[in-house]
Structure 1
Amino acid sequence: MELENALYAGAQILHNFGAAAIVGLPLAALWFGRSQPTALPIMAWLLFAAWLLQTASGAGFGAVSYFMEGEFPEIHHIARAALIVKLICAFGALALLTAYFVKSSLKEPGVAIWRSLSLLGLTALTAAALLRWFS
């Protein structure tokens, strides 16, 4: 049981840092973007990595359950819907960032992209609270 708890704790730590980044980076970009435009592409790459961390650590919760207990955790319908919302936000943010990286080589992301990424991060964080409460 101690190994299982340590694995869950590790996944939770990564997930918490990822959550802070997916919300904080776009808001910081909106706040400081005009005064520090050269930092925006770096922030976009960090945000891309943070969303990958979120998806990997989120999958880590299910993997720990499956390999340690032999089954995925049972979650309420509301929690399942919240998980789907989180996945949609993650894939949406990754798609938006990928489209930005492919489309523009050296330009910084515009305000509309950062607003969309902020909305996706805040929505995912809200869904996370529902997922936690109803699972």
Structure 2
Amino acid sequence: MTIINFAKKLLWILILPFFPIGRDLAKKLGYHPYPPRQNFHLGYLKVGVNKEELEEYLKQSKFKINKVAWVDDEEILSVRRMDGFEHQYHIRLFADNEIRGHYELSPEYSPLGHLHDVGTIPTTEDFKKFLGDYLVEEA
């Protein structure tokens, strides 16, 4: 890790406790940089599996609760798996059991690049591997 990235990481340790407050305030003031649900539909959570079971399963694959994320409408779970310091895999579960995911710049590495979806891609096959039998095509 470069010294600049190390400094960014330390800065985010300080910012993290305040991030949800700033995000929620921005939403209340009408700032909406994304559609109600971000792109990259993957499928649905398998019938009979709940949010907690999915979260526990994904934790085994190095996913963690994503505290540095926008909250989409009806989102009930947001987890990420870091890929180094610069990128992350981001999975969202919604109240209707839809699952969406994308590969993107981490907000810690590039806040503006992350906010503006620079280089965000679906990497659908990676997500299918991560989600395994928990992901189905139809609800």
- When normalised by structure 1's length, the TM-score is 0.25
Which structure is higher in helix share? 1
Which structure is higher in strand share? 2
Structure possessing the higher relative contact order (Cα contacts under 8 Å, 6 or more residues apart): 1
- When normalised by structure 2's length, the TM-score is 0.24
